[in-house]
Chain A
Amino acid sequence: MALTTQLSSDGTTLTISINGRFDFNLYKEFRDAYEVGLSKGNIKIIINLAQTEYMDSSALGMLLVLKERTGGDNSSVLLKNCNKEIKNILAISNFDKLFTIE
């Protein structure tokens, strides 16, 4: 599976992990994943990029939509476990200014 989701046992945090290429092909799946989580109420979303090999601009776009969906500037979406390649992509686009990256 290119995308897996995991809800924390207390139900407050949804982790979406992306394996392989994070690009336009995941558009629907990615949106469905966080929409299901958000429909359950106020929930913190973590995007786990540990197994992500590559991100294209559509993926950045999807993250941007998620950020807006979760409160824009007040959004608490967290990007976790970025490898060097992903960090570089986030840095070139300056998305590191928009998201909390761990």
Chain B
Amino acid sequence: MTAENYDPIMEDESSMTSKKGLSVLIVDDDKTNRLILTTLIKKLNYDVISAINGEDAISKFKSDNPDIVLMDVMMPIMNGYDAAVEIKRLCGDVFVPIIFLTAITDENALAKCIEYGGDDFITKPYNSIIIKAKIDAMVRVRELYNKIADSRAELQEHHSRLQLEHEIAETIFTNITNPHNLEIKNIQYMLKPMSITSGDILLCSRTPSGGMHLMLGDFTGHGLSAAIGAIPVSDTFYSLSSKGYSIGDIAFNINKRLKETLPSGFFCAASLIEADEEFRTVAIWNGGNPDIIITSDNEEPIRVSSSHLPLGVLDSSNLDRSVEFIELTHGSKIYMLSDGVIEAQNKSGDMYTQKRLDEVLLSAQKSDVPFEEIKQSIEIFCKDTQQFDDITLIEVTAAILENPDNTIIEKGGLTLPPGSWSLSVRLEADALRKTNPCPLITQSIMEIQGLSKHRERIYTIVSELFSNSLEHGLLKLSSDIKSNPNGFIEYYNSRELALESLTDSYIEITLEHNPIASGGELIISVKDSGQGFDISQEENKLAENINSHGRGIALVKSLCSEINYSHDGREVKAHYVWKTKNQT
């Protein structure tokens, strides 16, 4: 065999395929050496590419992407060292082993091979067994390297996906708990989340009748899982609150949604409060959050402890909707908090504790800025420590709520051309015990006629007329009770009792709508099966209502064009007139 005979094959070798699918780039300026190596390596079932010097090697490396490089050292135009440096640079993160081919036995020169990026060297003359062993070993290293590189890439991808998901969760959570809803002057709050997304959620909305709903929720866990839970919670909260449902109903429905959607073991400790427009009374539902504390001048603070299970634990049929009513005086303050406050730790691992909070709360009442004092106390306590849980504290001051900005309650809203329709609902004793039809009826009007800008007023009329029929017509409660101290509580207790024993009674609510010249007229009539009353005598009492209780029939009168009693006071008809746009 002579070198010349093999030359044509050599120039064509890269077109050959091999079993392993790996290709080896042979770089040597000596034709005979190239021939010997090519023969040897082809026998090992690798593809072979060859180059005649360093520069040629770089261009073949670029065009043919070999998997392993066998590199001679001393070559014209560009030597092996410089070619190795350039090839390694071209490789970037990919591992392409370079094995130097050298006749040198000088140890320093061998070390130089490694220094310039070589991974191993083979000394001439070639021994086929050693070449095979070295190439096989390099293939193994290369596989290992690729496996690690793949895992790293995968890990990096997971990491960035996780980060993206966290960012999405954070955006969702921030959108949901957007503090624009909390820009009510009566409310001050602090939210100190533990991770980027908090497990605490704070929701606030104005009710159709001008009052306020506020909810503080504390989810098991933080981050993504909490953000997922926050979606059904806030959806349910805002949708029911804007329809005029009570907090008991809201708690009931949130519990139902969570129980249906969340895995077991995942729940939301929650406290909800509902205040009327004038902040005379507050209704409280507390399930799993620390005591809600209410302070008033010169009085012992009132505490409302959790009397319910957190939301998402019980089957919906077992959830207790009952709330506690507390009467407020002007300037009373309501404090709601998540357990992160009392469990906040200082440097020595001591907890903030309920006791400390009680003391700070009490002494802060002497200050002009009590909330700032309490906030500072907590912040100083857990300064420079790792936070274990989200910390949320809210202070609500009892003061007349300013007129809600329409954008909070209803953004725009469609009004349909005035039509002719009527709708009638009759509730027997059973239904009266279980449901408050006012939100549903108001909602039906919105569905049929639009009128969302009138929602608040219509709801007020429907609910005032309904509760008058129920509480005075059927249950025969006297609103005189309400003027006593603690009267509201007493009133609601007797209401509860009377409702329990109600039989053979009904209330019929009829809505009738007709177009009139300027727009539409809605007639709301409420009829009950009670004994009725002397209309003329009651007129005076009802007129007084506005002074002692703010709302009442007098308010309905001010909203309506006409209000008439008939059937000895058992039926009342209120006429509500609205104008179409071009009329206003």
B residues less than 8 Å from A95 (CB atoms): 309
Give the total of B residues in contact with A, Cβ under 8 Å.
24
Q: Which of A56, A57, A62, A98 contacts B309 (CB under 8 A)?
A: A98
The reply to whether A92 and B339 form a contact with Cβ atoms under 8 Å apart is: yes
Which residue on B lies nearest to A89, using beta carbons?
A: B339
- B328 near A: Cβ within 8 Å? no
Q: Which of A57, A91, A94 contacts B220 (CB under 8 A)?
A: A57
The reply to whether A57 and B269 form a contact with Cβ atoms under 8 Å apart is: yes
Which residue on B lies nearest to A23, using beta carbons?
A: B388
B residues less than 8 Å from A56 (CB atoms): 388-389
The reply to whether B269 and A65 form a contact with Cβ atoms under 8 Å apart is: no
Q: Which of B290, B313, B389 has the most CB of A within 10 A?
A: B313
Docked complex: A54-87 residues within 8 A CB-CB of B: 54, 56-58, 60-62, 64-65, 68
Tell me how far the C-beta of B289 lies from the nearest C-beta in chain A, rounded to whole angstroms.
Answer: 7
The reply to whether A92 and B309 form a contact with Cβ atoms under 8 Å apart is: no
- B264 near A: Cβ within 8 Å? yes
- B306 near A: Cβ within 8 Å? yes
Task: Indicate whether A94 sits within 8 Å of B264 (C-beta atoms), given known contacts A56-B389, A58-B220.
Answer: no
A residues less than 8 Å from B266 (CB atoms): 61
- A28 near B: Cβ within 8 Å? no
A residues less than 8 Å from B305 (CB atoms): 92
B residues less than 8 Å from A60 (CB atoms): 220, 267
The reply to whether B221 and A93 form a contact with Cβ atoms under 8 Å apart is: no
Q: How far is the CA of A79 from the CA of B356 in the complex (A)?
A: 29
Which residue on B lies nearest to A92, using beta carbons?
A: B306
The reply to whether A24 and B221 form a contact with Cβ atoms under 8 Å apart is: yes
Task: Indicate whether A93 sits within 8 Å of B310 (C-beta atoms), given known contacts A56-B389, A61-B265.
Answer: yes
Bitwise, A30-68 to B at CB < 8 A (1) or not (0) is 000000000000000000000000101110111011001
A residues less than 8 Å from B308 (CB atoms): 94
Q: How far is the CA of A54 from the CA of B306 in the complex (A)?
A: 19
The reply to whether A93 and B265 form a contact with Cβ atoms under 8 Å apart is: no
Task: Indicate whether A94 sits within 8 Å of B265 (C-beta atoms), given known contacts A57-B218, A58-B221, A61-B220.
Answer: no
Q: List 23 A-B contacts (CB under 8 A).
A: A24-B221, A54-B343, A57-B220, A57-B221, A57-B269, A58-B220, A58-B221, A60-B267, A61-B220, A62-B265, A64-B264, A92-B289, A92-B290, A92-B339, A93-B269, A93-B306, A93-B309, A93-B310, A94-B288, A94-B307, A95-B309, A97-B309, A98-B309
What residues of chain A have their CB less than 8 Å away from a CB belonging to chain B? 24, 54, 56-58, 60-62, 64-65, 68, 91-95, 97-98
In the A-B complex, list the 7 residue pairs whose CB atoms are closest, starting with the nearest. Answer: A61-B265, A65-B265, A57-B220, A93-B288, A94-B309, A61-B220, A64-B265
